[in-house]
Chain A
């Protein structure tokens, strides 16, 4: 078997194993909370008889192992159960919100990743000179602003001073692509501001690290222009560290943007999760937690795999 194929298969298997382990942790975590689902539904004033009946009805008297596997089996067949608070099908509720989350994260990623890398390359090219200082200064400022401050600042700027966008990012089913894009413009701007610096700094650092290599001197002595040297000779050797940071930021865009969702009243997964945490709606918390974990694991696995594929020693063994 080709060593790359072997490594990639190992990573995939490891990712799945990790996901399984996370599902156990999530299940046990909820299990360890005082009270159970029946208690949560009926409230503090429920009679012991009512509790016992409901527990019987929901299968809560089964041993934990049985309940874990029936929960896991449900997830694998797309059945995430029903929410306690409104009895809605969780899978159905998540589906639409997950779409919104991915749309927002996708838009932010499409802008921020190329922008961060290009800015990183420019900063590395002019390291220590004014373009580098300007880029570092601006991106560090934007990352230092708390998201809600940045959000209100952007709202003030682009809806009041220069009124070109809506302050509320309402996305409704049936909206066209461009209308949706227009609606999410403000949160996308805020998210780009938040994730730009980290990826830019990593690109810059990785490139500058590679720039110490002898083969960079070789390229310079070939009479290549500085940007050609960076793009053709330094960047291909700096991909792995850059990709791993990019993936961490993408994961953040999917799972960590609840503040931005709230500020812009954007109906997505983060808000859904927070709503149901406050209501102690455990099946929803479990389901969303597992989805977030899956996103993290998948993106980091992807970073590993790209890192492996970017290494010529692994791709082309002796």
Chain B
């Protein structure tokens, strides 16, 4: 029975040196004594929020520490050999041969200067596992199994010549090509659109099943991991919270934290009745300078004060471009935008200070939306100086009020963005927008980069602020759970045009148009077998057509 065990980790402790700004470096422990056993051919899901240590634990199966991460204590047995203390030569021989890795961003993980085929078969050749023609034949077979278009020739392309979803499948092929015993999937579908994710997920699942390879599947999305894993381990702050068969974890979680993860998407919002609009976007068409392609096609939507319009669509659907048109960053070639009863000038230069003040934006990456060399107090204080001419103690008082508003206590005003967590950074960005006393806030994927529970907190805060101040939100997102949780009206965008628009209850009830149907049915549901039923359903439909 013992040789059925592929990977056994006992008492694993992982540490790193952290360099907090303005303080001496200190040792931190990322993983506190985790045990893990994986049998051949089984799939174990590792789930948790960022900082839970799931990627770090996953990579320890290759005895690899990213950056300055060190595997400090414990044992890691792979195929019966201890590998934590193995030397560089031994590690090189097992990496790529016995264990391979699929990362979150295939686009960054493929070398842009080399053809896909060369990279896919590289491991086979460098480890002497197959001759070049054999390896290429294997790769083509994998491309076909993973449902890539023109499997014979796609390997001749360069990474930038294929789409993100295709590249993610190529990376899976690259991991499977040397016929490893174990593949580590590190959030392989997180960066993909929901409609692409489902295909890639199905391809990965089928490949795992057909090749009989064992896998560690790392993700923050319980609904995704429920589709592929036999067992799930829930992690938090570098400790195991719960381990169980997939069915047990999603149906009958024991620990409170797991229960919170399972029910995180339960936030619901009762839509408000239609009212007179504060923002009207009328027949707006726009294109980027120097191109001949309309990125917005005749878009008409409106948004009442104190309500939320969710703009939903995949990447490239034009939803962020709509935000740019409304804020004046991209002057539309046709159409009109009215706000609070006045027509807004098409370009930024023609707008009054009040026009600018009343429309604020919050971005997806709170990190890059703040100057890392300014304190939180300076960041939030800047719009107060600009729009209300507040200075000195008066400004500091208002900054503190705003910080209280976003449920952050005293002492934060003196901190730098690098000293804040992801959720706190996004709260500071919200406070900065609030400081201008806007009538409309455009939220561009504000929760996409956050963990589910943190995102939930941000959405609750936004709703509370809306109830208090009657601000309108234009909420751009690709996540339909977020849409359900926050919106009063919904506009579904596809290739620059609005394909479905109306009150939330209307948009989200059948009959659906084809695209909305595809979008809604692609959102993973937290039940085993959901993936198969959707794929089977789609095959049936396409056979029927």
Within the complex, the shortest CB–CB distance from A192 to chain B, in Å, comes to 29
A117-158, CB < 8 A from B? none
A228, B126: Cβ atoms closer than 8 Å: yes
User: Any chain A CB within 8 A of the CB of B122?
Assistant: yes
Within the complex, the shortest CB–CB distance from B433 to chain A, in Å, comes to 32
Known: A312-B160, A316-B161, A318-B161. A219 touches B111 (CB 8 A): yes
Q: How far is the CA of A145 from the CA of B20 in the complex (A)?
A: 41
A214, B96: Cβ atoms closer than 8 Å: no
Cross-interface CB contact of B108 among A214, A220, A225, A312, cutoff 8 Å: A214
Q: How far is the CA of A221 from the CA of B92 in the complex (A)?
A: 8
Within the complex, the shortest CB–CB distance from B169 to chain A, in Å, comes to 15
Known: A221-B62, A221-B100. A237 touches B91 (CB 8 A): no
User: Any chain B CB within 8 A of the CB of A223?
Assistant: yes
Within the complex, the shortest CB–CB distance from A129 to chain B, in Å, comes to 14
Q: Which residues of B contact A310 (CB under 8 A)?
A: 113
A224, B113: Cβ atoms closer than 8 Å: no
B92, A224: Cβ atoms closer than 8 Å: yes
Q: How far is the CA of A219 from the CA of B95 in the complex (A)?
A: 10
B109-128, CB < 8 A from A? 109-114, 122-123, 126-127
Closest Cβ neighbor of A213 among chain B residues = B108
Cross-interface CB contact of B109 among A215, A228, A318, cutoff 8 Å: A215
Main secondary structure of the interface of A (DSSP, over half): helix
User: Any chain A CB within 8 A of the CB of B26?
Assistant: no
User: Any chain B CB within 8 A of the CB of A160?
Assistant: no
User: Any chain A CB within 8 A of the CB of B321?
Assistant: no
User: Any chain A CB within 8 A of the CB of B105?
Assistant: yes
A215, B126: Cβ atoms closer than 8 Å: no
A214, B161: Cβ atoms closer than 8 Å: no
Q: How far is the CA of A318 from the CA of B161 in the complex (A)?
A: 5
Q: How far is the CA of A213 from the CA of B66 in the complex (A)?
A: 12
User: Any chain A CB within 8 A of the CB of B363?
Assistant: no
Cross-interface CB contact of B93 among A223, A233, A237, A316, cutoff 8 Å: A223
Residue among B109, B157, B160 having the largest count of chain A Cβ atoms under 10 Å = B109
A316, B158: Cβ atoms closer than 8 Å: yes
User: Any chain B CB within 8 A of the CB of A217?
Assistant: yes
User: Any chain B CB within 8 A of the CB of A313?
Assistant: yes
Q: Which residues of A contact B494 (CB under 8 A)?
A: none
A155-171, CB < 8 A from B? none
User: Any chain A CB within 8 A of the CB of B94?
Assistant: yes
User: Any chain A CB within 8 A of the CB of B339?
Assistant: no
User: Any chain A CB within 8 A of the CB of B416?
Assistant: no
Within the complex, the shortest CB–CB distance from B66 to chain A, in Å, comes to 7
Within the complex, the shortest CB–CB distance from B410 to chain A, in Å, comes to 38
Closest Cβ neighbor of A313 among chain B residues = B160
User: Any chain B CB within 8 A of the CB of A6?
Assistant: no
Q: Which residues of B contact A182 (CB under 8 A)?
A: none
Q: How far is the CA of A236 from the CA of B95 in the complex (A)?
A: 23
User: Any chain B CB within 8 A of the CB of A222?
Assistant: yes
User: Any chain A CB within 8 A of the CB of B101?
Assistant: yes
Give per-residue flags for A275-289: 1 if the beta carbon is below 8 A from chain B beta carbons, else 0.
Answer: 000000000000000
A223, B108: Cβ atoms closer than 8 Å: no
Known: A223-B93, A225-B92. A236 touches B111 (CB 8 A): yes
Q: Which residues of B contact A232 (CB under 8 A)?
A: 114
Q: How far is the CA of A232 from the CA of B112 in the complex (A)?
A: 12
Give per-residue flags for A178-212: 1 if the beta carbon is below 8 A from chain B beta carbons, else 0.
Answer: 00000000000000000000000000000000000
A312, B100: Cβ atoms closer than 8 Å: no
Q: How far is the CA of A225 from the CA of B127 in the complex (A)?
A: 11
User: Any chain A CB within 8 A of the CB of B97?
Assistant: yes
Known: A213-B108, A215-B108. A312 touches B113 (CB 8 A): yes
B122, A222: Cβ atoms closer than 8 Å: yes
Q: How far is the CA of A232 from the CA of B95 in the complex (A)?
A: 18
Q: How far is the CA of A218 from the CA of B161 in the complex (A)?
A: 19
Closest Cβ neighbor of A214 among chain B residues = B108
Q: How far is the CA of A204 from the CA of B296 in the complex (A)?
A: 45
User: Any chain A CB within 8 A of the CB of B501?
Assistant: no
Q: How many residues of A contact B (CB 8 A)?
A: 22
A221, B95: Cβ atoms closer than 8 Å: yes
Cross-interface CB contact of B111 among A225, A228, A233, A313, cutoff 8 Å: A233
Q: Which residues of A contact B160 (CB under 8 A)?
A: 312-313, 316, 318
A237, B112: Cβ atoms closer than 8 Å: yes
Known: A213-B108, A237-B113. A222 touches B95 (CB 8 A): yes
Known: A222-B123, A223-B91, A223-B95. A217 touches B109 (CB 8 A): yes
Within the complex, the shortest CB–CB distance from A127 to chain B, in Å, comes to 14
Within the complex, the shortest CB–CB distance from B455 to chain A, in Å, comes to 25
Q: Which residues of B contact A318 (CB under 8 A)?
A: 160-161
Cross-interface CB contact of B112 among A220, A223, A312, cutoff 8 Å: A312
Q: How far is the CA of A223 from the CA of B96 in the complex (A)?
A: 6
Q: How far is the CA of A215 from the CA of B158 in the complex (A)?
A: 14
Q: How far is the CA of A215 from the CA of B68 in the complex (A)?
A: 18
Known: A312-B160, A316-B161. A221 touches B108 (CB 8 A): no
A233-277, CB < 8 A from B? 233, 236-237
B97-150, CB < 8 A from A? 97, 100-101, 103, 105, 108-114, 122-123, 126-127
Q: How far is the CA of A223 from the CA of B174 in the complex (A)?
A: 13
Q: How far is the CA of A233 from the CA of B95 in the complex (A)?
A: 17
User: Any chain A CB within 8 A of the CB of B515?
Assistant: no
User: Any chain A CB within 8 A of the CB of B64?
Assistant: yes
B103, A218: Cβ atoms closer than 8 Å: yes
Q: Which residues of B contact A313 (CB under 8 A)?
A: 112, 158, 160
Known: A221-B95, A237-B112. A312 touches B158 (CB 8 A): yes
Within the complex, the shortest CB–CB distance from B262 to chain A, in Å, comes to 32
Q: How far is the CA of A220 from the CA of B92 in the complex (A)?
A: 8
A214, B95: Cβ atoms closer than 8 Å: no
19 contacts between A and B (CB under 8 A): A215-B112, A217-B103, A217-B109, A218-B109, A219-B111, A221-B64, A221-B100, A222-B95, A222-B122, A223-B95, A232-B114, A233-B111, A233-B114, A236-B111, A237-B111, A312-B160, A313-B158, A316-B161, A318-B160
Q: Which 3 pairs of residues, A with B, have the shortest CB-CB distance?
A: A223-B95, A223-B96, A214-B108
Known: A222-B95, A310-B113. 8 other contacts (CB 8 A): A215-B109, A215-B110, A215-B112, A220-B95, A221-B64, A222-B96, A233-B114, A313-B112
